[in-house]
């Protein structure tokens, strides 16, 4: 595995114990966090449903040694973001896709 490995990490969860201030902020900023505007980026893309119950964060993690390491990095980034923003959360689930393998497979089929 080389340093050019690219993983797409999606961290999903549920908001928990949001303060009224956090809930108002999320409701006011909802259009900026629409799922259709999201992408996998190094800094992460934050989206959530219109009821402000569920969210996901999408990260592009490069150079991780394997899927589990990429997932751990994504989970740490997500937790740090959520805590920094003051958003309570629970039930985090992490999904990892090795984008490099998909791209390599597509090239081999050509």
Q: Enter the pTM of the model.
A: 0.86
pLDDT single digits (tens) 82-101: 999 999 999 999 999 998 87
Mean pLDDT of all residues belonging to the chain? 90
Tally of helices (H runs) and strands (E runs) in the chain = 3, 4
> How many domains does one find in the chain?
1
Classify residue 105: in a domain, yes or no. yes
Is 54 among the domain residues?
Answer: yes
Domain assignment of residue 74, yes or no: yes
Q: What is the mean pLDDT of residues 57-83?
A: 94
Per-residue model confidence as pLDDT tens digits over 31-52:
999 988 899 999 999 999 999 9
CB 47 within 8 Å of CB 65: no
Residue 57's Cβ-side half-sphere holds a number of Cα atoms within 13 Å equal to 25
**CATH number of the domain bearing residue 89:** 3.30.70
Output b/e per residue, 56-77; b: 16+ Cβ within 10 A: bbbbbbeebeebeebbebbbeb
Residues 6+ apart with CB under 8 A from 25: none
**Count of positions (residues) in the chain:** 110
Q: Is there a contact between 21 and 41 (Cβ–Cβ < 8 Å)?
A: no
């Amino acid at each position: 595995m080389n340093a050019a490995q690219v993983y797409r990490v999606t961290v999903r969860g549920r908001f928990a114990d949001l303060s009224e201030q956090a809930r108002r902020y999320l409701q006011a900023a909802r259009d900026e966090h629409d799922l259709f505007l999201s992408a996998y980026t190094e800094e992460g893309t934050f989206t959530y449903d219109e009821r402000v119950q569920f969210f996901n964060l999408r990260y592009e993690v490069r150079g991780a040694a394997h899927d589990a390491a990429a997932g751990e990095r994504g989970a740490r980034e997500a937790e740090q973001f959520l805590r920094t923003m003051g958003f309570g959360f629970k039930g985090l689930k992490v999904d990892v896709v090795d984008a490099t393998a998909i791209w390599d497979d597509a090239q081999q089929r050509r």
